[in-house]
């Protein structure tokens, strides 16, 4: 992407703060737009507890780079405002996608109040990275077509109607963020929702992180012990889904999109071809 595609503020205006999704861990999974902004930034504030410092490797040698792991929300927004007064491009580098568990609006509101322009660059979320690492699919025809991205109630309470036991009643794919220390509670609530102890569970710690990724497979009944044995207790995505393990199923319902008898605007289907496969 050329530099002309990124808006520059005027000489008298404050700079713009870009909230950039760094992706799940592997720096190569950052978008090209995000990487270009890192290269052009005068200042970068990265979430060091979750984002690998390698994600800043494209920054200029004179770029101000700060780790926010010890900062409060007020300190973060004050830093962003101060740097936007000095630099045309300021990057807040966040794990995964900024819009998902990223405290995005909490940071944007003070910037709005200060008259600082903001923009968001999406990133790959750990749910997608975890399924990619395990070569699994979030959805399958005639199995589930729905994915719920959620977390288990801990210090942050859940709104009414969003308890895991309620959401799990759909028996679709559940991607559980920020919940690896709550596996006992997850099992209890899923059993309450009608799941069984032999339901397959996937846990991926640090999905895509070079040399640090761990993939743990198990069931609702044994996944907690498997994670304890593997010393997995942080930065892990939990997926409970009826689709898990489908790679090894002897039969599989196929997508209609590629069915020889299915017509769409790019291809005319052959109903006879379809009937031959029935």
Q: Using only the alpha carbons of the chain, give its radius of gyration.
A: 22
Q: Give residue 7's pLDDT.
A: 46
Mean pLDDT score across all residues of the chain: 90
pLDDT (mean) for 244-269: 77
CA-CA distances (angstroms) from residue 259 to 62, 80, 138, 270, 275?
55, 52, 20, 9, 11
pLDDT tens, residue by residue, 3-37: 434 444 443 458 999 999 999 999 999 999 999 99
Q: Give residue 220's pLDDT.
A: 98
Q: Are 23 and 123 in contact (CB under 8 A)?
A: yes
User: What gap in Å lies between CA 276 and CA 278, rounded to an integer?
Assistant: 6
Q: pTM of the prediction?
A: 0.86
CA-CA distances (angstroms) from residue 12 to 9, 17, 89, 266?
8, 16, 14, 51
pLDDT tens, residue by residue, 119-128: 999 999 999 9
Q: Are 121 and 20 in contact (CB under 8 A)?
A: yes
Domains and CATH numbers, the chain: 3-121 (3.40.1010.10), 126-244 (3.30.950.10)
Q: Check pLDDT > 80 for residue 264.
A: no
- Tell me if residue 236 falls in helix, strand or coil: strand
Q: Check pLDDT > 70 for residue 238.
A: yes
Query: For residue 267, what is the DSSP state?
Result: B
Query: For residue 25, what is the DSSP state?
Result: S
Query: For residue 232, what is the DSSP state?
Result: -
pLDDT (mean) for 98-103: 95
Q: Give residue 4's pLDDT.
A: 39
pLDDT tens, residue by residue, 173-191: 999 999 999 999 999 999 9
pLDDT tens, residue by residue, 24-76: 999 999 999 999 999 999 999 998 888 878 889 999 999 999 999 999 999 99
User: What gap in Å lies between CA 149 and CA 176, rounded to an integer?
Assistant: 6
SS (H, E, C) 52-72: CHHHHCCCCCCCEEEECCCCC
Q: Check pLDDT > 80 for residue 261.
A: no
Q: Give residue 3's pLDDT.
A: 43
Q: Are 99 and 123 in contact (CB under 8 A)?
A: no
User: What gap in Å lies between CA 275 and CA 262, rounded to an integer?
Assistant: 11
């Amino acid at each position: 992407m050329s530099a002309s595609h990124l808006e520059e503020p005027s000489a008298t205006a404050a700079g713009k703060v870009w909230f950039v999704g760094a992706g799940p861990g592997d720096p190569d999974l950052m978008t090209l737009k995000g990487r270009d902004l890192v290269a052009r930034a005068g200042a970068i504030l990265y979430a060091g507890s979750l984002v690998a410092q390698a994600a800043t490797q494209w920054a200029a040698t004179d770029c101000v780079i700060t780790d926010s792991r010890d900062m409060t929300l007020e300190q973060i927004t004050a830093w962003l405002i101060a740097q936007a007064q000095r630099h045309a491009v300021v990057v807040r580098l966040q794990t995964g996608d900024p819009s998902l568990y990223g405290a995005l609006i909490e940071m944007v509101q003070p910037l709005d109040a200060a008259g600082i322009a903001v923009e968001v660059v999406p990133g790959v979320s750990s749910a997608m990275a975890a399924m990619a690492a395990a070569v699994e699919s979030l959805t399958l025809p005639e199995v589930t077509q729905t994915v719920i991205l959620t977390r288990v109630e801990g210090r942050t309470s859940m709104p009414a109607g969003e308890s895991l036991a309620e959401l799990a009643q759909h028996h679709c794919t559940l991607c559980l963020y920020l919940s690896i220390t709550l596996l006992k509670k997850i099992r209890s609530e899923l059993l309450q929702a009608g799941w069984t102890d032999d339901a397959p569970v996937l846990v991926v710690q640090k999905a895509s992180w070079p040399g640090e990724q761990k993939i743990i497979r198990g069931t609702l009944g044994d996944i907690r012990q498997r994670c304890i044995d593997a010393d997995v207790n942080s930065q892990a995505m939990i997926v409970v889904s009826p689709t898990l393990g489908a790679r090894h199923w002897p039969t599989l319902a196929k997508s209609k999109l590629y069915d020889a008898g299915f017509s769409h605007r790019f291809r005319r289907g052959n109903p006879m071809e379809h009937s031959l496969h029935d």
